[in-house]
Amino acid sequence: MKKHIINVLVENQFGVLAQIAGLFSSRGYNISSLIVGETEDPTLSRMTIVVEGNERVIEQVIKQLNKQIDVIKVVNLTHKDHIARELALVKVNATKQTRQEIITLASALKGDIVEVGKDFILIEFTGDEHTVENAIELMKNYGIKEMIKTGKVALSK
């Protein structure tokens, strides 16, 4: 099944996120990721939802989303020209011997050093899915202490 990126513009009100998430769970659709944030207009929020399914399932999802009172606009970005980004914070084991090597690699991967501790380095990686996944994979060689990765945020071009 293909992953689809659905962009939903909603009223920025209490309970809207729960309502949308409930719509997916009640119909048995699996959300791969869901990111919500305020837009340039503080009365509106934009959701980027990544969901797996065939074209028929996605068509149903979009129809159901459009029926919601607080939903203003729904766009399936999957087949449109768009920009998508992810963020990962990765805390990597670091020793005196590996510290400079990790910093050099992180820099080459366009990562930002967020924090340096006695036995760790915390790095922020931002980019498309492939870029972030590649960075995480390379950091595994040093031992990942902790990590968190967002889902996609996306806008049409």
Domain-terminating residue out of 61, 80, 99: 80
Domain-terminating residue out of 63, 80, 97: 80
Query: Do 70 and 87 share a domain, yes or no?
Result: no
Round to whole Å and give the CA distance between 29 and 44: 25
Residue 53 pLDDT grade (very low, low, confident, very high; cuts 50, 70, 90): confident
* Structure-token pair, residue 55: 């074209």
* Structure-token pair, residue 28: 């048995």
Round to whole Å and give the CA distance between 155 and 157: 6
Query: Do 144 and 91 share a domain, yes or no?
Result: yes
- What's the average model confidence in pLDDT over 129-155? 96
Q: Give pLDDT, residue 29.
A: 84
| Structural domain boundaries, residue 127 | 83-156
Show the CA angle centred on residue 107, arms to residues 106 and 111, nearest 5°. Answer: 60
Residue 57 pLDDT exceeds 90: no
pTM: 0.85
